[in-house]
């Protein structure tokens, strides 16, 4: 078997060169405000809508020891008002202007966005900035909202798919924060206090740690003045409990012996999950190649795993493959839903397909199909201001926003031998972690 290094390919070297010169091709303007806040702005004159998406490097990855779930809980509490805004007032203002708002938290970030008619942005954005900069974390609201988050944790634990996924990543990432649930646990939530949360907010919701993305039908000078005015009054350092440093933990290297078999009551079908640690955000070329591999394996009826396991042999009800990009280590995962009696054969067939990827380059036909599909998906995912703002914010928070617009070009740079090299590098049987979940009374 010939072994390939994906970085030796001329096409992949060309892709790496694209990354190094990507600033010139980026259609948005990136600037630093005087207080250290990053602003990404792009005008879309043809739309009357504007989105502001505020990204904070304050995900679960930076939670101190014992504070698991803090980042997500704070996302909830941000909307509970400030000294000047009562709980619910922000939502009322957004709704009255016909806008929408939401937020999300991951291991690497938290982000908050509003989308309104562009003409209403000067009336709505100051409210969002007030919440983010001056969150009060009222004691009474803290206690009430903790009950909401605890119920969210219980619902998640009742989901077999979430439960299996969490078991998988806890083995894959071992003691690294990526192996812990973003929601935290009932125990960790019970130990948090309002003062803990205020300390976390004071430390991480700072201008140098935040990126504001503005995309849509709003003039540049209007957007710049609005952001400067809305985000210009960060509070100075206030007395209070200090937020401890997060624990510095290196990513573990999983071994093939990390295999977990579990049973769950009231489960109708078994779950088979295989996962590998993947490249980080700074290895974007490799991560996009793994996107292609995931499509070749399990996207559409003609993909390898779907065709063999579902269409030809009826071993699974469904099977998927995906790569998720993260700051420190991405996640390549294969998931199948199937009857327990088919587990052994299905897993053997999945592993054989992976061995084939390592031993032989994919066909040019398979590769070109995957490239067309991913480029089309990218086009559909960047049609609206909100989608574009989210893309810029994600890459701008984890690395550089310019990476966000190169995806189609980078995808088209790969050749079959490049994907073989990536399979050898990342998807070897020595690196896989396996989790199997079966109905309680099924036989192994």
Tokens encoding 283 = 């290895």
> Per DSSP, what are the bridge partners of residue 67?
none
Same CATH topology for 33-230 and 259-439? yes
Beta strands of 109-201 (E only): which ranges? 110-117
Is residue 388 classed exposed, middle or buried when 0-12, 13-18 and 19+ CB atoms within 10 A define those classes? buried
Instruction: Tell me how long the chain is.
Output: 444
**Collapsed DSSP state (helix, strand, coil) of residue 32:** strand
Q: What is the CATH number of domain 33-230?
A: 3.30.830.10
Tokens encoding 253 = 């290297």
User: With the CA atoms of 176, 181, 185 and 190 taken in that order, what torsion angle do they form, in degrees rounded to the nearest 10?
Assistant: 80
pLDDT at 6: 43
Report how far apart, in Å, the C-alpha atoms of 438 and of each of 159, 270, 351, 441 are. Answer: 14, 4, 19, 8
pLDDT at 174: 85
> Is 259-439 CATH 2.30.30.240?
no
pLDDT at 3: 46
**Collapsed DSSP state (helix, strand, coil) of residue 193:** coil
Segment 33-58, tens digit of pLDDT: 999 999 999 999 999 999 999 999 99
At a CB cut-off of 8 Å and minimum separation 6, what does 375 contact? Answer: 408, 411, 412
What is the C-alpha separation between 363 and 300, in angstroms, rounded? Answer: 16
Nearest to 331 by CA among 211, 407, 435: 435
DSSP secondary structure of 339-401: -GGGHHHHHHHHHHHHHHHHHSPPPHHHHHHHHHHHHHHHHHTTSSHHHHHHHHHHHHHHS-G
Tokens encoding 160 = 């077999």
Quick check: 155 and 148 in contact, CB under 8 A? no
Quick check: 250 and 176 in contact, CB under 8 A? yes
pLDDT lower than 70: segments of the chain: 1-24, 237-240, 250, 252-257, 442-444
User: With the CA atoms of 416, 418, 421 and 427 taken in that order, what torsion angle do they form, in degrees rounded to the nearest 10?
Assistant: -80
**Collapsed DSSP state (helix, strand, coil) of residue 264:** strand
Report how far apart, in Å, the C-alpha atoms of 179 and of each of 158, 169, 290, 346, 430 are. Answer: 19, 5, 21, 26, 19
**Collapsed DSSP state (helix, strand, coil) of residue 1:** coil
Is residue 143 classed exposed, middle or buried when 0-12, 13-18 and 19+ CB atoms within 10 A define those classes? exposed
Report how far apart, in Å, the C-alpha atoms of 124 and of each of 35, 119, 232, 394 are. Answer: 22, 10, 16, 23
What residues does each domain of the chain span?
33-230, 259-439
What is the C-alpha separation between 357 and 50, in angstroms, rounded? Answer: 44
* Start-to-end Cα distance in the chain: 34
């Amino acid at each position: 078997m010939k072994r390939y290094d994906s970085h030796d390919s001329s096409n992949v070297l060309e892709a790496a060169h694209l990354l190094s010169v990507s600033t010139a091709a980026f259609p948005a303007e990136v600037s630093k405000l005087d207080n250290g806040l990053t602003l990404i702005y792009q005008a879309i004159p043809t739309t009357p809508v504007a989105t502001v998406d505020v990204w904070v490097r304050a995900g679960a990855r930076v939670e101190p020891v014992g504070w698991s779930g803090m980042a997500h809980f704070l996302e909830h509490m941000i909307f509970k008002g400030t000294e000047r805004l009562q709980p619910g007032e922000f939502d009322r203002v957004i709704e009255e202007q016909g806008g929408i708002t939401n937020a999300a938290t991951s291991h690497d970030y938290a982000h908050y966005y509003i989308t309104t008619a562009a003409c209403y942005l000067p009336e709505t954005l100051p409210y969002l900035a007030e919440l983010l900069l001056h969150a009060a974390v009222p004691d009474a609201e803290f206690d009430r909202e903790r009950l909401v988050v605890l119920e969210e944790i219980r619902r998640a634990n009742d989901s077999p798919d979430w439960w299996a996924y969490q078991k998988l990543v806890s083995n894959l990432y071992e003691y690294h924060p990526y192996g812990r649930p973003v929601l935290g646990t009932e125990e960790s939530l019970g130990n948090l206090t309002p003062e803990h949360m205020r300390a976390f907010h004071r430390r991480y919701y700072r201008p140098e740690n935040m990126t504001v993305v503005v995309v849509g039908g709003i003039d540049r000078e209007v957007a710049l003045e609005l952001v400067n005015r809305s985000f210009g009054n960060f509070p100075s350092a206030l007395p209070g409990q200090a937020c401890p440093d997060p624990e510095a933990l290196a990513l573990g290297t999983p071994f093939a012996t990390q295999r977990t078999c579990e049973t769950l009551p009231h489960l109708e079908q078994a779950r088979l999950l295989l996962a590998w640690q993947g490249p980080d955000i700074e290895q974007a070329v490799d991560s996009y190649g793994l996107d292609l591999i995931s499509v070749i394996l399990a996207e559409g009826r003609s993909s390898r795993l779907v065709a063999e396991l579902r269409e030809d042999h009826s071993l699974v009800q469904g099977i998927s493959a995906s790569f998720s990009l993260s700051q420190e280590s991405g996640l390549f995962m294969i998931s199948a839903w199937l009857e327990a009696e088919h587990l052994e054969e299905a897993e053997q067939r999945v592993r054989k397909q992976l061995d084939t990827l390592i031993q032989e380059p994919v066909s040019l036909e398979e590769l070109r199909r995957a490239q067309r599909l991913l480029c089309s998906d990218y086009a559909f995912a960047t049609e609206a201001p909100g989608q574009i703002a989210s893309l810029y914010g994600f890459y701008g928070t984890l690395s550089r926003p310019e990476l966000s617009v190169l995806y189609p070009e980078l995808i088209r740079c790969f050749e079959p031998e490049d994907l073989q090299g990536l399979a050898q590098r990342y998807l070897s049987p020595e690196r896989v972690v396996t989790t199997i979940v079966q109905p309680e009374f099924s036989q192994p």
